[in-house]
A and B are shown apart, each in its own frame.
Chain A
Amino acid sequence: MMEQGLWHGRQDTSPNLADVLERVLDKGLIIAGDIKINLLDIELLTIKLRLLVASVDKAKAMGIDWWEHDPALSQPGPRQLAAENARLRKQVRALETATLKARR
């Protein structure tokens, strides 16, 4: 058996996740198996992923791991994002007010 490395020739790593998903989710022959999964829904999910990550590893390396807390993209986990957003907005408003006052 040939190694996958040969398939990706001069590229030193395995293919980018976005490229793999593009092919295994959007391409390839569709067979109606005994277990039916609507991959269209999964495709929508990956479109959302594509908007944000081409490489999970790269995103993680950049410290971006929000999807681990997004119930739509991960297992049900802490759903505190909305609350945190509200809290941060409030904090931003407070800082803006303080800055304006300081300038006057």
Chain B
Amino acid sequence: MSAASYTYAVARPFDPAQAAGLVGVDGAAIHLVRHQDLVAVVSPLAPADANETALRARLETLAELEAIARAHHRVVAAVAACTPTLPFRLATVHRTNDRVAQLLRREYRRFCETLDRLAGRVEVGVKIYVHHADASAGAMSVAEKTGGSGSARVGRDYLQYRREQRDRRQHAWRRATTAAEQMDAVLAGLAVDRRQHRMQSAELAAAPGENVFNAAYLVDAGRAEELAARARRLGAENPHVTIEITGPWPPYSFAGSEECT
């Protein structure tokens, strides 16, 4: 049984020398499957891994998931740096290169339209966080006060504190989401398109607080820095939120989400 084909993206043809040495999942070398003015960026996947059970088992292991996700991203980012690129979702696997070529033929028009829309554009990620430092500081002092004693008065004080803490958090959250909406309106004005993502809940994250806003903006590559700088400035002007900017990314969030068969 021969190797299966793991596909990272569809792109406009580019000089293969630019992808020399580029490796994907499991360190396998990248090759291109061509159809007219489209190429699929592919690497071979060992036959033992080319079935649902094996692949699934790998993706459910955190270390493997991370390795595959990072390999996928490394290839997509490298290709996107030299040519218009339409990123595929993780773990797109065909039995053979011929099957990948069939896909290019079948979806030719659609791939071309999307590539034209994404050409020369990148994605900038913006996350906004509210910090709850005040609330947690309050909670800590209560803990100190109540430590060791069990009287009813202290119990009432504690409940009172908890209510105030909850109100402070709600207030901070509302203030931050309002600020985020205003910032989003400004940033969307600089972008060609935008997508809102789910919040990242990251209690152990490098994150400076609770994520209240998470979006991606599609911009002309030449304006990515301008959008990032604007976002940084908006963040700096508002003392109640912290802003985190990522990218520029290949336009993952704008690749389209409807399934291609």
A contact set with B: CB distance below 8 Å: 1-2, 4, 6-9, 11, 14-37, 39, 42, 45-46, 49-56, 58-59, 62, 64, 67, 72-75
Complex contact B248–A9 (CB within 8 A): yes
Pair B246/A19 contact, Cβ less than 8 Å: yes
Across the A-B interface, give the 3 residue pairs with the lowest CB-CB distance, nearest first: A54-B205, A2-B81, A28-B89
A15-B246 in contact (CB<8A) = yes
Please tell me the number of chain B residues within 8 Å of chain A, measured between CB atoms.
71
Q: Does B155 contact A (CB under 8 A)?
A: no
How many Å from the CB of A29 to the closest CB on chain B?
4
> Any chain A CB within 8 A of the CB of B61?
yes
Residues in chain B near residue A72, CB distance under 8 A: 60
A22 and B197 contact, Cβ closer than 8 Å, known pairs A32-B259, A58-B204: yes
> Which of the segments B68-76, B135-143, B184-192, B235-243 contacts the partner chain?
B68-76
Cross-chain contact A55 with B206 (CB below 8 angstroms) = yes
Listed by A's residue number, 28 A-B pairs whose Cβ atoms lie within 8 Å are A1-B18, A4-B78, A7-B77, A7-B81, A7-B248, A17-B66, A20-B70, A26-B198, A27-B89, A29-B256, A30-B89, A30-B260, A31-B89, A31-B259, A31-B260, A35-B4, A35-B51, A35-B95, A36-B52, A37-B91, A42-B60, A42-B90, A51-B201, A51-B202, A53-B204, A58-B204, A73-B61, A75-B61
Query: How does the 8 Å CB contact mask read for B188-217 relative to A, with 1 for contact and 0 for none?
Result: 000000010110111111110000000000
B contact set with A: CB distance below 8 Å: 4, 7, 10, 18-22, 50-52, 55-56, 59-63, 65-66, 69-70, 72-74, 76-78, 80-82, 86-95, 99, 103, 114, 125, 195, 197-198, 200-207, 225, 246-250, 252-253, 255-261
Pair B197/A29 contact, Cβ less than 8 Å? no
Contact A35 B205 (CB under 8 A): no
Interface of B is mostly: mixed
Residue of chain A at shortest CB distance from B81:
A2
Q: Closest chain A residue to B10 by CB distance?
A: A29
Q: B94's contact among A4, A14, A30, A34, by CB below 8 Å, is which?
A: A34
Nearest CB of A to B200, in Å: 5
Contact assessment for B103 and A25 in the assembled complex, using a CB-CB cutoff below 8 Å: no
Q: Would you call A29 and B59 a contact (CB within 8 A)?
A: no
Is there contact, CB below 8 Å, between A64 and B204? yes
